[in-house]
């Protein structure tokens, strides 16, 4: 699919999110050119900066969504000082950062509803960690629907064959050793699009990855797990050739946490969109993504009345 001509991309509005602990995060709204028909939040993958999702956010904005993208503390534009000095844990990204983004999106939804005199939907989109951690975020139930892309329970037992051995080694040895040696987890060991990761977050990820049941069996989180509270549509996708980061069994494990929700599991194969490979990251590249994104969005919109009832028809994506 061809790129949009220069000057036709949706406008952006830089902003900041204030977390419950006072920390400020760098964020950006991608605005539709016409009326706001729905609001969306994009939660990034582990240590991935929000600019990686720019093309996806622009595509959603052309469909009438006001889209909020942001960087977790210690990552991308939200990094303050040296990553070695950043104390953030994974649970902070969820309980403080994701929660702050949801509050901002909910305020925007309420403002638009008041101005337009009708209800608007709020869609929460999570890539990898951004999807598997939502149930730790206070107030995430205010979203109307959850769309998880390669979001999984990263218990090494959910992998198979050689990849199972690789993930075992990653969580038991490589990630802890590198984090202690460098004072952070180097981005190159986390994935092609990842930035350096704060040490505390990396070590917590390693601990969860070693646990049977991942974060869901961490005794220190039992009063914080809210996955069972969500009652709306939850659509979770795995990519059939994403064997190292998002195996189907890991996505199934996450799906089981949403016991009160209307959960739908989907699998996307590269052949379905005429691609040789997709993996964990390529579906957010514009050239390939514009073939994939309608497939991801259509089912969740159809299952969610406030998204299905958007005013008018968006321009083609």
**Within the chain, what is the greatest distance between any pair of CA atoms?**
56
DSSP summary character for residue 173: I
Burial of 215 (0-12, 13-18, 19+ CB in 10 A): buried
Residue 317 has pLDDT above 80, yes or no: no
For the chain, where are the alpha helices, taking DSSP H only?
54-62, 90-92, 99-116, 129-132, 161-169, 175-182, 199-210, 248-255, 286-303, 305-308
Residue ranges covered by each domain of the chain: 12-155+226-308
pLDDT mean across residues, the chain: 94
Is the separation of the CB atoms in 246 and 239 below 8 Å? yes
Ramachandran region, residue 27 (left: φ > 0; alpha: ψ -120 to 50; beta: rest) = beta
Burial of 38 (0-12, 13-18, 19+ CB in 10 A): buried
As its CATH architecture, domain 12-155+226-308 has 3-Layer(aba) Sandwich (3.40)
Which of 96, 48, 82, 53 minimizes the C-alpha distance to 224?
96
Which residue is it, tokens 């005199």? 117
Q: What is the mean pLDDT of residues 90-106?
A: 98
Q: What is the mean pLDDT of residues 65-85?
A: 98
* Angle between helices 286-303 and 54-62 in degrees, nearest 10: 50
Residue 5: the pLDDT is 53
Strands 145-149 and 121-127: what pairing? parallel
Which of 292, 181, 182, 189 minimizes the C-alpha distance to 244?
189
Residue 3: count of CB within 10 angstroms of its CB: 11
Model confidence pLDDT, tens digit, residues 42-63 = 999 999 999 999 999 999 999 9
User: Tokens in use for 21?
Assistant: 């602990």
Model confidence pLDDT, tens digit, residues 188-218 = 999 889 999 999 999 999 999 999 999 999 9
pTM: 0.94
Model confidence pLDDT, tens digit, residues 232-261 = 999 999 999 999 999 999 999 999 999 999
DSSP summary character for residue 198: E
Residue 12: the pLDDT is 97
């Amino acid at each position: 699919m061809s790129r949009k001509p220069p000057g036709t991309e949706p406008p952006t509005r830089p902003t900041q999110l204030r977390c419950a602990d006072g920390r400020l995060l760098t964020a950006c709204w991608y605005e539709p050119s016409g009326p706001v028909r729905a609001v969306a939040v994009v939660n990034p993958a582990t240590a991935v900066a929000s600019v990686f999702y720019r093309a996806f956010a622009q595509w959603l904005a052309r469909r009438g969504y006001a889209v909020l993208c942001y960087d977790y503390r210690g990552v991308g534009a939200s990094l303050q000082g040296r990553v070695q000095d950043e104390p953030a844990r994974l649970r902070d990204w969820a309980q403080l950062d994701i929660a702050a983004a949801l509050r901002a999106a909910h305020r925007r939804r309420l403002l638009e509803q008041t101005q337009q005199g009708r209800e608007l939907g709020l869609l929460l989109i999570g890539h990898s960690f951004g999807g598997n951690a939502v149930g730790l975020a206070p107030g995430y139930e205010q979203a109307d629907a959850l769309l998880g892309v390669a979001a999984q329970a990263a218990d090494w037992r959910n992998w198979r064959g050689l990849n199972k051995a690789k993930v075992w080694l990653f969580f038991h040895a490589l990630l802890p050793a590198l984090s202690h040696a460098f004072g952070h987890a180097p981005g190159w060991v986390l994935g092609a699009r990842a930035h350096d990761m704060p040490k505390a977050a990396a070590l917590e990820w390693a601990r969860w990855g070693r646990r049977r049941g991942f974060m869901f069996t961490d005794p220190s989180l039992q009063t914080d797990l809210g996955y069972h509270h969500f009652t709306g549509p939850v659509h979770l996708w795995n990519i059939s050739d994403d064997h190292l980061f998002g195996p189907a069994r890991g996505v199934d494990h996450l799906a089981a946490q949403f016991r009160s929700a209307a959960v739908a599991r989907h699998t996307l194969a590269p052949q379905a969109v005429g691609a040789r490979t997709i993996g964990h990251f390529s579906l957010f590249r514009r050239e390939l993504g514009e073939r994939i994104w309608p497939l991801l969005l259509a089912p969740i919109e159809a299952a969610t009345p406030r998204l299905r009832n958007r005013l008018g028809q968006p321009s083609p994506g």
